[in-house]
Amino acid sequence: MNDSTQRPAWPVALTIAGSDSGGGAGIQADLLTFAAFEVFGTCALTCVTAQNPRQVTGIEALPSQFVAQQIKTVCDAFPIAAAKTGMLYSTPIIRAVAAADVQQGIPILVVDPVMVAASGARLLEPDAIEALCSDLLPQARVITPNLDEARILCGHTIESVEQMREAAREIGDRYDVACVIKGGHLGGEEITDVLYDEGQELVMTGPRLPAVETHGAGCAFSAAITAGLAKGRLLDDAVTQARAYVRQALESARPAGAHWPLHFLANYETKPPA
């Protein structure tokens, strides 16, 4: 018997990002994170990479019009509650994504301004930063730069939590968006992230975990925020839950060779998030 009309509908999210052949970041990380939050994940692929946790050996960008076609085709069939971007790589892709976001009426956009891989490889062409800032960032509900990306976006050094707070405020006001700066690269025994949204600030601090060789935490963080927003959470709640999710995924990481991938579904060993 078909009882589909009596079942609750999936919240649906869209990730617009690159593929990581190593499985730890990119759309692979995004879709696993969506699943962990019981959000149905769809995707539009921007690039195919040949990479593992230690190196990126090749990048093949898809034609910008095909990226836009993927977004339209997904939106034609699914009620997208929130979308996120990751690796966009080039100016044509950024502009195609920005136009598709408007044309498809995507209600919430989370922009993870991916510029460099954890291995050090460049994931955004240098001349694409201007398009990212002018075309895409103003359309976002929230952007999630790490320290290096935040330095590029604000144009000055960030060497302290106070400077993180100033940079989040500066970036948020400049692009009229919420901004959460991830402070993992700052050093010290604690990790501090700063959320700035419409004049309000939330400073979140926790103990630093022992270092392991991993990557994809930034992708998981922005995907978790996207999932929370897709489920109707307020932004500060979505960010707080995303931090807790990533921490649990890092604490539960297991070795796969010399690498320690995040345990994206660790929460199912206890109970799924509400």
For the residues 259-269, what does the mean pLDDT come to? 84
Domain-located, residue 193: no
More confident residue, 268 or 208: 208
Query: pLDDT value at position 102?
Result: 96
Domain-located, residue 137: yes
Domain-located, residue 199: no
Domain-located, residue 272: no
Q: Identify whether the C-beta of residue 55 lies closer than 8 Å to the C-beta of residue 84.
A: no
- Among the listed ranges 90-104, 138-152, 179-193, which one has the minimum average pLDDT value? 179-193
Query: Residue 97 CA to chain centroid, in angstroms?
Result: 15
Domain-located, residue 48: yes
Q: Does residue 270 surpass a pLDDT of 60?
A: no
Average per-residue pLDDT for the chain: 92
- Among the listed ranges 30-34, 64-68, 220-224, 260-264, which one has the minimum average pLDDT value? 260-264
Q: Does residue 1 surpass a pLDDT of 50?
A: no
Q: Does residue 272 surpass a pLDDT of 90?
A: no
For the residues 134-149, what does the mean pLDDT come to? 97
**Number of structural domains found in the chain:** 1
Question: Per-residue confidence at 2, pLDDT binned at 50, 70, 90?
Answer: low
Query: pLDDT value at position 22?
Result: 92
Query: pLDDT value at position 271?
Result: 58
For the residues 3-26, what does the mean pLDDT come to? 91
pTM for this entry = 0.94
Q: Does residue 139 surpass a pLDDT of 60?
A: yes
Q: CA of 35: how far to CAs of 38, 66, 67, 107, 191, in Å? A: 5, 26, 23, 20, 26
Domain-located, residue 144: yes
- Among the listed ranges 122-131, 161-170, 257-266, which one has the minimum average pLDDT value? 257-266
Q: Does residue 273 surpass a pLDDT of 80?
A: no
What is the CB neighbour count within 10 angstroms for residue 43?
21
Domain-located, residue 179: no
Domain-located, residue 170: no
The CATH number given to whatever domain includes residue 242 is 3.40.1190.20
Question: Per-residue confidence at 3, pLDDT binned at 50, 70, 90?
Answer: low
Q: Does residue 238 surpass a pLDDT of 90?
A: yes
Q: Which domain holds residue 43?
A: 10-148+215-264
